[in-house]
Chain A
Amino acid sequence: NAGVTQTPKFQVLKTGQSMTLQCAQDMNHEYMSWYRQDPGMGLRLIHYSVGAGITDQGEVPNGYNVSRSTTEDFPLRLLSAAPSQTSVYFCASSRDRVVDEQFFGPGTRLTVL
Chain B
Amino acid sequence: GENVEQHPSTLSVQEGDSAVIKCTYSDSASNYFPWYKQELGKRPQLIIDIRSNVGEKKDQRIAVTLNKTAKHFSLHITETQPEDSAVYFCAASFTGGGNKLTFGTGTQLKVEL
Contact = CB atoms under 8 A, between A and B. Distances in A.
Interface in A63-79: none
Interface in A19-75: 31, 33, 35, 40-45, 48, 50, 56, 58-59
A87 B32 CA distance: 27
B89 A102 contact: no
A45 B102 contact: yes
Given A40-B105, A45-B100, A101 B95 contact: no
A105 B45 CA distance: 10
B43 A102 contact: no
B43 A42 contact: no
Nearest to B32: A99
Interface in B73-113: 89, 91, 93-95, 98-106
A58 B99 CA distance: 9
Given A42-B6, A99-B94, A106-B43, 5 more contacts: A42-B89, A44-B103, A48-B100, A90-B43, A102-B44
Interface of B: 1, 6, 9, 31-32, 34, 36, 42-46, 49, 51, 89, 91, 93-95, 98-106
